[in-house]
Amino acid sequence: MRLLILNPNTSDSMTAEIATAARTVAAEGTEIVARSPRFGATAIDSAAESYLSAVGVMDLAAAMLAAGEFDYDAVILAGFGEHGKDALQEMLTVPVLDIAEAAAHVAHLLGRRFSVITTLARSIPPIQDRLLLAGLDAHCASVRACGLGTAEVDADPAGAVQAIVDEAAKAVAEDGADVICLGCAGMAGVTGAITAKLGVPAVDGVAAAVALAQALVGLGMSTSKAGVLAAGPDNPRCHWPLSTSLGLDP
C-alpha cells in the first residue's frame, strides 16, 4: 500500500518530520511518500496562506496526474484546519484524508469529549470551521491555542511541549475533555508527554490519518462520486497547472 502525504506548506524540514512520524505508525507493507507544493508559504497561519496551500496541493496532484505519476492508494492532507481536501477528492478516486478530521474521528472512538490544542489563537476559528463543516463539532469540548506559531513549533518542537501540555491540562480540567487532539502537524512528538502527564489519550493527526487511510484501503473503499465530490465540469483554465506555467520541475 502506498500513501501520499501532502504537507501543505513548503517547509522541507517539516515535510521530512511528517514523513518520519507517519512511518513510525505505518503498518508493515505501507510505503509513505511525503511531498509539499512547489509554491506557497513556509508556514500556514492565515486564510490567505490556507487557500494558497490548497491550490499548491491541487497543482501538485494535477502535475502528477498529467505526468502519469500518480500511483497511490490514498492521500493524506497534512494541514490541521487547512483547505483543499474536497478539491483533492474531486480530482482523485482514492480516499483523501484530512488530519484534523482524522484526529477527530479517532478521538470520538476513544472518549466522550475532545479538545484540540493548536498553535496561535488565530488558528482556532479555522479549526472550528473545519470541524463544523465536517459534522464533527458536537463532541468538541474546545479548541485552544498554546500561543506558538507553526514555524516556532516546527523550529523547536521540544521547547513547545510544556506550553502544549499546560493548555491540554486546562482543556481537561475546565472544558471536560477526556481526549486531546494535537492541532498542528509539527506537534507529533508531544503525544507521549500529554498522556504521561495528564492520563488522557492524545491523538496526532498524521498518525490518525495513516491508520484510517490503511483502514479504508483495507476495506477497498473509494471516495463517493455520486455527489458533490464527483469530478467537476471541464471549464477552461489558463496557466494551469501553475507550476508548469512557472517552469518549475515536478
**Total residues in contact with a second copy, by rule CB under 8 A:** 98
Full strand arrangement of the beta sheet holding 114-118: 140-145, 114-118, 179-182, 202-204
Stretch that binds a second copy, among 13-21, 63-71, 81-89, 182-190 (CB under 8 A): 81-89
Report yes or no: 72 and 4 within 8 Å, Cβ to Cβ: yes
C-alpha cell at 120: 496561535
Angle 220-224-230 from CA coordinates, rounded to 5°: 135
Q: Which of 52, 76, 181, 188 binds a second copy (CB under 8 A)?
A: 52
Of 159-188, binders to a second copy (CB under 8 A) are 172, 176-179
Q: Which of 81, 183, 186, 201 binds a second copy (CB under 8 A)?
A: 201
Does 239 participate in binding a second copy (rule CB under 8 A)?
A: yes
Binding mask 103-142 for a second copy (x = CB under 8 A): --xx-xxxxxx------x-x-xxx--x--xxxxxxxx---
Quote the CA–CA distance of 134 and 153 in Å, as a whole number.
26
Nearer to a second copy, 40 or 163 (CB): 40
Does 65 participate in binding a second copy (rule CB under 8 A)?
A: no
Report yes or no: 94 and 224 within 8 Å, Cβ to Cβ: no
Q: Which amino acid is at 117?
A: I
Rg of the chain taking only CA atoms, in angstroms: 17
Nearer to a second copy, 39 or 157 (CB): 39
Stretch that binds a second copy, among 15-23, 158-166, 182-190, 234-242 (CB under 8 A): 234-242
Quote the CA–CA distance of 24 and 26 in Å, as a whole number.
6
Nearer to a second copy, 71 or 234 (CB): 234
